[in-house]
């Protein structure tokens, strides 16, 4: 009942692990796969190891968390070893980042054949060295990166968009015209900040970070809704999902699959099985036979 197909990739349900949460090692990715996710996405990685920012890198705020991890990762060659240890029980997506089209294409080339799809992170609000949202705020640069990666790999290429733009449809359309296979939206919102009332200092070492969790869901939904009306490629919704009702909202807005990040921090990896049980019950009650039937219903 919950099976979907995303860019010809078969998934047993529409839930996916979002990049950056439990996605650094094969052990944690396999754990999420065993817990019921329909697909897994790695933490974003680059060409060379990156230590990221010093602690504190995350802080809880009303409605979610703010993080400025700075894309810490062990680099493509080390991640490749982890990818070889994946159980293969569910499709795996590699999230990659870089500073320019060439860097993205080199990384994509090195993991070609190791994963079912590649997600281009052009949207991190706290990345170092011009690797973040500055790319995803520029339609031309985003398109150049999509083209460079598509020239190197045969697997589907997703582009993860930032909500921190004047017009997300412009960026989505540029990515689609450049040949991307799906759009993932949204990356964390902001940057935002939290200040310690005792010390009067920003709490995060980077001072600013990306906001995630339930508070950003209305914005993520609006982004999916707007882009659904403008593009033909499938959309993967992400932002603030903690239960099956959140997933339903994303499907109605036009998403075909939905990723969960911060929700795992609240509920653990069991959240995937809980969401699927909730979806199945809802669909049985309403008489839906497939997830596909619910996609885009809010537009009718």
Ligand X SMILES: Cc1cc2nc3c(=O)[nH]c(=O)nc-3n(C[C@H](O)[C@H](O)[C@H](O)COP(=O)(O)O)c2cc1C
**Which residues are annotated as catalytic?**
124
Closest CA to 180 of 122, 98, 223, 103: 122
Which position among 74, 136, 261, 269 is part of the footprint of ligand X (CB under 6 A)? 261
- The reply on whether position 142 binds ligand X by CB under 6 A is no
List all residues 6 or more positions away from 87 whose beta carbon is below 8 Å from its beta carbon: 30, 33, 34
Q: Which of residues 144-173 bind ligand X (CB under 6 A)?
A: 160
Between 215 and 254, how does the x/- string for binding to ligand X read (CB under 6 A)? -x---------------------xxxx-------------
Name the residue nearer to ligand X (CB basis): 79 or 238.
238
Site string for ligand X, 41-70 (x = CB under 6 A): --xx-------------x------x-x-x-
Instruction: Tell me the per-residue interface mask from 111 to 130 with ligand X, x by CB under 6 A, - otherwise.
Output: ----------x--x------
Report, in Å, the least distance between residue 225 CB and ligand X: 16
CB 137, min distance to ligand X, A:
15
Residue 212 interacting with ligand X (CB under 6 A):
yes
- Residue 21 in contact with ligand X, rule: CB under 6 A: yes
CB 44 within 8 A of CB 20: yes
3-state helix/strand/coil string of the chain: CCCEEECCEEECCCEEECCCCCCCCHHHHHHHHHCCCCEEECCCECCCCECCCCCCCEEEECCEEEECCCCCECCHHHHHHHHHCCCCCCCEEEEECCCCHHHHHHHHHHHCCCCCEEEEECCCCCCCCCCCHHHHCCHHHHHHHHHHHHHHCCCCEEEEECCCCCCHHHHHHHHHHCCCCEEEECCCEEEECCECCCCCCECCCCCCEEEECHHHHHHHHHHHHHHHCCCCCCEEEECCCCCHHHHHHHHHHCEEEEEECHHHHHHCCCHHHHHHHHHHHHHHHHCCCCHHHHCCHHHC
Q: Is 28 in the site for ligand X (CB under 6 A)?
A: no
Q: Can residue 213 be called a binding residue for ligand X (CB under 6 A)?
A: yes
- Tell me how far, at minimum, the Cβ of 224 lies from ligand X, in Å: 12
Q: Which is nearer to ligand X, 63 or 202 (CB)?
A: 63
- Tell me the closest approach of the beta carbon of residue 179 to ligand X, in angstroms: 20
Shortest distance, position 287 Cβ to ligand X, whole Å: 29
Residues 168 to 197 in contact with ligand X, rule: CB under 6 A:
187-188
Measured CA to CA, the distance from residue 293 to residue 258 in angstroms comes to 15
Rank residues 105 and 262 by Cβ distance to ligand X and give the closer one: 262
Is the CB of 226 or the CB of 288 nearer to ligand X? 226
Contact residues: ligand X, CB under 6 A: 18-21, 43-44, 58, 65, 67, 69, 71, 95, 121, 124, 160, 187-188, 212-213, 216, 238-241, 260-263
């Amino acid at each position: 009942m919950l099976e979907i197909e995303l860019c010809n990739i078969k998934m047993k349900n529409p839930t996916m692990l979002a990049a950056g949460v439990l996605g650094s090692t094969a052990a944690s990715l396999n754990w999420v796969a065993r817990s019921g996710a329909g697909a897994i996405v790695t933490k974003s990685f680059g060409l060379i190891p990156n230590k990221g920012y010093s602690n504190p890198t995350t802080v809880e705020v009303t409605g979610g968390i703010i993080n400025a991890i700075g894309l810490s990762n062990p680099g493509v060659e080390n991640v490749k070893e982890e990818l070889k240890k994946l159980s293969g029980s569910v499709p795996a997506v590699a999230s990659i980042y870089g500073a320019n089209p060439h860097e993205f294409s080199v990384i994509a080339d090195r993991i070609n054949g190791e994963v079912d799809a590649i997600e281009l992170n052009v949207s991190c609000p706290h990345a170092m060295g011009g690797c973040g949202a500055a790319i995803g705020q520029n339609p031309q640069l985003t398109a150049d990166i999509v083209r460079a990666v598509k020239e190197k790999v045969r697997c589907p290429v997703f582009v993860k968009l930032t909500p921190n733009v004047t017009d997300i449809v412009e960026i989505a359309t540029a990515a689609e015209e450049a040949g991307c296979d799906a759009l993932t939206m949204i990356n964390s919102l902001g940057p935002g900040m939290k200040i310690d009332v005792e010390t009067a200092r920003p709490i995060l070492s980077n001072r600013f970070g990306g906001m995630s969790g339930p508070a950003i869901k209305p914005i993520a939904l609006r982004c999916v809704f707007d882009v659904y009306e403008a593009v033909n490629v499938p959309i993967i919704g992400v932002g603030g999902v903690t239960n099956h009702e959140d997933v339903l909202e994303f499907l109605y807005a036009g998403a075909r699959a939905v990723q969960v990040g911060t929700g795992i921090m609240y509920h653990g990896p069991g959240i995937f099985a809980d969401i699927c049980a909730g979806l199945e019950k809802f669909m049985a009650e309403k008489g839906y036979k497939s997830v596909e039937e619910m996609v885009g219903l809010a537009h009718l």
